[in-house]
């Protein structure tokens, strides 16, 4: 396994630190160092759990489940933290009832010497986290580094007790050890609980993912981002909006780009699911070909066009657009260009030729099939999304017809 040598080195270094602290306890009982032994022992157990969980999650067994078995690490971590908290409370209560044990310089030296392999353990865990891209191992490395600083505080407290002979110094050392133990257990347990309950460990992460998604060309809006933590990995769900005129293939390319960008910038993302939705168009300028007050049956034969401006679901402007003479060749093409120039976004009609349709399509104008010859009724149906889009010309070009004959 990639990075396994770093984890093994970390475990060996931590076990050496535990052995040195056990020696200090055996030499002459001291509850402050007992806490330190338990603390280092918890580090060993957590690192072992991380290693075991990585082995299981990369196995074929994990592939049988939609989200793998990554939460196994969180569950086992929570059980261990509860057990360690119970033991810690019991020792703290026992220490408060008893007089401080005599402490000698050998215990302090053993405590100080144990910090050397513990620091080496923190370094190797950090390397393993970097190689394996594991957030859990990285958090474990930071936790181990905090243990080094806390262990130094305990050693100084015990040294103060030897130098002064005051029981207060011993109590301070005991409290420092207990606080370091409980704070570390709380931190590890809190992250496990958040992961099990699918609550966010990092509240800013979803904002970062949304920002990265918006930076991809073609994304008009990020509707929502959800992140689900499971052990050392995350599962991300992103809902994006793209232009409604975009093809499925184009939208799929954007989806892949978002996925690749998020995975390259955010560590620990195991899988990202991108859902694509068409952008909601708030402002529409709808054109309808009109003949004798009704929707014209042929686009290029229209006497005029009715232009209706819609904002949201409300009509805010109605005006007529005159076409002029209709005898010229390719008049439908000219009308299509003119409609695009004035900002028309949608056209409702019955029939349209190839050239006029291709021009509207080039300008990303939506063409809808009219259901009735009543202009107002068609506008209402479009606002209610009850019209069907015309995806190809309904009338062949004249040169095609002549060749067929």
What are 65-105's pLDDT values in tens digits? Answer: 777 777 777 777 777 677 667 666 755 665 555 545 555 67
Both tokens of residue 129? 């986290």
Q: What is the per-residue pLDDT for 405? A: 34
Strands 283-291 vs 294-295: parallel, antiparallel or unpaired: antiparallel
Both tokens of residue 352? 């349209």
Both tokens of residue 255? 């989806």
Contact 339, 360 (CB under 8 A): yes
Query: Minimal CA–CA distance to 391: which of 373, 372, 366?
Result: 366
Contact 280, 244 (CB under 8 A): no
Query: Minimal CA–CA distance to 210: which of 228, 236, 230, 229?
Result: 236
Q: What is the per-residue pLDDT for 93? A: 67
- Helix H or strand E segment including 289: strand 283-291
The CA–CA distances, whole Å, from 178 to 12, 112, 167, 185 equal 24, 17, 16, 11
When mean pLDDT is compared across 27-31, 41-45, 262-266, the lowest value belongs to 27-31
Residue-range domains of the chain with CATH: 4-196 (1.20.1510), 205-278 (3.30.70.1350), 283-398 (3.30.420.130)
pLDDT band at 2 (very low <50, low <70, confident <90, very high): low
When mean pLDDT is compared across 26-40, 305-319, 358-372, the lowest value belongs to 26-40
Edge-to-edge order in the sheet of strand 269-278: 219-230, 233-242, 269-278
Both tokens of residue 278? 């068409």
Which residues are registered as beta bridge partners of 309? 285, 317
- Helix H or strand E segment including 149: helix 135-164
- Helix H or strand E segment including 241: strand 233-242
pLDDT band at 260 (very low <50, low <70, confident <90, very high): very high
Q: What is the per-residue pLDDT for 402? A: 44
- Per-residue pLDDT, averaged over 59-66, amounts to 75
Both tokens of residue 252? 């799929």
Residues found in the chain:
405
Share of the chain above pLDDT 70, in %: 73
Across the chain, mean pLDDT equals: 78
Other residues' Cβ atoms within 10 Å of the Cβ of residue 306: 21
- Per-residue pLDDT, averaged over 30-57, amounts to 68
Residue that wins the pLDDT comparison between 230 and 393: 393
Q: What is the per-residue pLDDT for 314? A: 85
Other residues' Cβ atoms within 10 Å of the Cβ of residue 131: 16
Which residues are registered as beta bridge partners of 241? 221, 277
- Per-residue pLDDT, averaged over 48-60, amounts to 73
With a cut of 50, say whether residue 317 has pLDDT above it: yes
Could you tell me which residues come within 8 angstroms of residue 392 by beta carbon, excluding any fewer than 6 positions away? 357
Q: What is the per-residue pLDDT for 401? A: 46
Both tokens of residue 111? 């405590």
Both tokens of residue 164? 């002064």
With a cut of 80, say whether residue 211 has pLDDT above it: yes
Q: What is the per-residue pLDDT for 374? A: 94
Query: Minimal CA–CA distance to 395: which of 365, 356, 351, 364?
Result: 351
Q: What is the pTM of this model?
A: 0.60
pLDDT band at 369 (very low <50, low <70, confident <90, very high): very high
Contact 214, 222 (CB under 8 A): yes
Q: Tell me how far apart the alpha carbons of residues 182 and 160 are, in angstroms, rounded to a whole number.
A: 23
pLDDT digits (tens, 9 = 90+) for 95-151: 555 545 555 676 677 767 778 887 888 888 778 777 776 656 666 676 677 677 667
């Amino acid at each position: 396994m990639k990075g396994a040598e770093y984890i093994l080195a970390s475990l060996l270094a931590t076990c050496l630190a535990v052995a040195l602290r056990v020696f200090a306890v055996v030499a002459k009982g001291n509850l402050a160092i007992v806490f330190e032994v338990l603390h280092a022992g918890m580090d060993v157990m957590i690192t072992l759990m991380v290693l075991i969980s990585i082995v299981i999650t990369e196995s074929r067994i994990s592939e049988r489940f939609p989200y793998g078995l990554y939460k196994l690490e969180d569950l086992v971590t929570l059980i261990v933290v509860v057990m360690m908290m119970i033991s810690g409370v019991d020792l703290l209560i026992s220490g408060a009832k008893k007089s401080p044990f005599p402490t000698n310089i050998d215990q302090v030296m053993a405590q100080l010497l144990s910090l050397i392999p513990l620091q080496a353990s923190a370094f190797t865990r950090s390397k393993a986290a970097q190689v394996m891209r594991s957030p859990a191992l990285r958090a474990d490395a930071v936790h181990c580094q905090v243990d080094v600083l806390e262990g130094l505080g305990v050693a100084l407290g015990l040294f103060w007790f030897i130098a002064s002979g005051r029981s207060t110094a011993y109590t301070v050392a005991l409290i420092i050890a207990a606080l370091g133990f409980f704070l570390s257990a709380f931190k590890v347990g809190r992250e496990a609980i958040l992961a099990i309950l699918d609550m966010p460990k990092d509240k800013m992460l979803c904002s970062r993912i949304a920002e990265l998604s918006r930076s991809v060309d073609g994304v008009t809006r990020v509707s929502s981002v959800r992140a689900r933590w499971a052990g050392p990995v995350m599962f991300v769900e992103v809902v994006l909006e793209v232009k409604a005129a975009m093809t499925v293939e184009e939208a799929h390319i954007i989806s892949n780009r978002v996925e690749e960008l998020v995975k390259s910038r955010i560590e620990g993302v195991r899988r990202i699911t991108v859902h694509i939705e068409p952008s909601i168009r708030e402002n529409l300028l709808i054109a309808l070909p009109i003949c004798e007050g009704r929707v014209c049956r042929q686009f290029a034969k229209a006497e005029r066009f009715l232009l209706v401006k819609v904002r949201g679901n409300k009509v805010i402007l109605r005006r007529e657009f005159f076409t002029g003479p209709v005898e010229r060749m390719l008049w439908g093409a000219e009308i299509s260009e003119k409609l695009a120039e004035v900002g028309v976004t949608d056209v409702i009609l019955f029939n349209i030729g190839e050239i006029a349709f291709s021009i509207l399509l080039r300008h990303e104008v939506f063409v809808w099939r009219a259901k009735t010859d009543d202009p107002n009724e068609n506008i209402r149906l479009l606002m209610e999304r009850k019209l069907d889009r015309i995806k190809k010309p309904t009338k062949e070009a004249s040169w095609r017809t002549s060749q067929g004959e």
